[in-house]
Structure 1
Amino acid sequence: MTTLRTERPTVRARSGRRPLPPIIFLLVLALIAGGVWWNVFHQDAELQAEQDAACAEAEAAPHALDPATVSVRVYNASDQGGLAQSVADDLGARGFTIAEVANDPTNREVTGVGEVRHGVSGKSTAAFLALYLPGAGLWQDVRSTQQVDLVLGPEFVIGESLATDDVVDAALAEADEAAAAC
């Protein structure tokens, strides 16, 4: 009896090598995916930090107050005569309570258009008043009341330096919108 032999393909002997190109490809792909995820998380952290800073700034922004509740002393620290009275008349017409009008009683040097002096409890009142004098600095002193001083500097120009009610309202609206976004 004869046995038929079927032909089988020859089996190659294993050489012991691993498939290196697919492993390298998978490693490169894993590195790219890790880089993408790191970038996403890094950008998210930056955006969160920016939002936190914007919200902190919005909290510090001045809030609308009734001008009748703001007591202001208007001081002239410039060489222009009658400047404090002119500004006091303008602020009084806008509803502010004018407590005093005089030359600056301190020896503090004022630069620019002026500064708003206040105590710890008058910080928000001073920020509100500073909206009316763009470019004015804020100076905190030791007073315990909400009384604020508007000190007019050498660069103050009558009719130009005080902000209009529309400009102040726009600044307050912008601050309210920023606070609402937080």
Structure 2
Amino acid sequence: MGGRYKITGDKYPRMRPVRRRGRLAFAGVACVTVLGVLGWGTLQLIDVFTGGDKASAAGAAGCSEATAKASAPPAAVAVPKPAQVTVNVFNATTRGGLAQKTADELKKRGFRVGDVGNATEEYDKKVDGTGVLLGPAAALKTSLPVLGTQLPAADRRTDAARRGPAVDLIIGNGFKELTRKADADAALAKLAAPRPTPAVEKKSC
């Protein structure tokens, strides 16, 4: 080519279009991003299924713990020993000497004996059952149950106005004798160490 335009230099012009490297780089980044998102989603699904298994295991462990607590024996009830209980024995029947005879037997079994004699007018000849165990309100779960092991069929009553720890055994018309000593001792042992009872609420597993 002559005239005003001349070709200079030792390079010839390319006859094909230049590669667009920017588009290739963008496509590569996009692929990497897509693969990352897919991988993250897969991990989330794995965590979901794994977490469910862990939750089930935790629930089973909780139920096992609840069962273990429910079967554990409770602490023994703090009841006094017979030697710590003072008993007044009163006869509300027409049979003479019954109060003293019963008081002597209670003393042999370890109880402390207080007053012995006839019942007051309130109870005299008015007790049809085996007897009445009478004491202060504080004795309802302590001294009265201990004395009750000697005469299980007796009626237990409390008097809020009563003072002092002593309890009364008022012998009724249906009284024959105190319960057998072996049975009374077994009842005392059971009273001090009751059967295990559930300590927690049941859980549905």
TM norm. shorter chain > 0.5: yes
Please state how far the C-alpha of 1:148 moved relative to its aligned partner.
1.2
Distance in 1 separating the partners of 2:122 and 2:68:
45
Match 2:103 to one of 79, 91, 112: 91
For the Cα contact (< 8 Å) 1:75–1:149, is it kept in 2?
Answer: no
SS of 1:59's partner is: coil
Letter aligned with residue 139 of structure 1:
R
Q: Could you tell me which residue of structure 1 aligns to residue 151 of structure 2?
A: 133
Q: Answer with 1 or 2: which has the greater Rg.
A: 2
Q: Could you tell me which residue of structure 1 aligns to residue 17 of structure 2?
A: none
Percent identity among equivalent residues? 15
Distance in 1 separating the partners of 2:150 and 2:53:
54
For the Cα contact (< 8 Å) 1:104–1:151, is it kept in 2?
Answer: no
Q: Could you tell me which residue of structure 1 aligns to residue 62 of structure 2?
A: 41
Please state how far the C-alpha of 1:143 moved relative to its aligned partner.
1.5
Match 2:168 to one of 137, 149, 173: 149
For the Cα contact (< 8 Å) 2:149–2:184, is it kept in 1?
Answer: yes
Q: Could you tell me which residue of structure 2 aligns to residue 74 of structure 1?
A: 90
Letter aligned with residue 34 of structure 1:
A
TM-score (norm 2): 0.51
Q: Could you tell me which residue of structure 2 aligns to residue 117 of structure 1?
A: 134
Unaligned runs of 5+ in 2: 1-30, 195-205
Unaligned runs of 5+ in 1: 1-12
Letter aligned with residue 132 of structure 1:
Q
Please state how far the C-alpha of 1:73 moved relative to its aligned partner.
3.0
Distance in 2 separating the partners of 1:134 and 1:158:
13
User: Residues 38-94 of structure 1: CA distance to partner in whole angstroms, max 9, x if unpaired?
Assistant: 343355356547758x32xx324x332228x62313253xxx642x85354133234
SS of 2:188's partner is: helix
TM-score (norm 1): 0.56
User: Residues 5-58 of structure 1: CA distance to partner in whole angstroms, max 9, x if unpaired?
Assistant: xxxxxxxx9897669898656534422432332343355356547758x32xx3
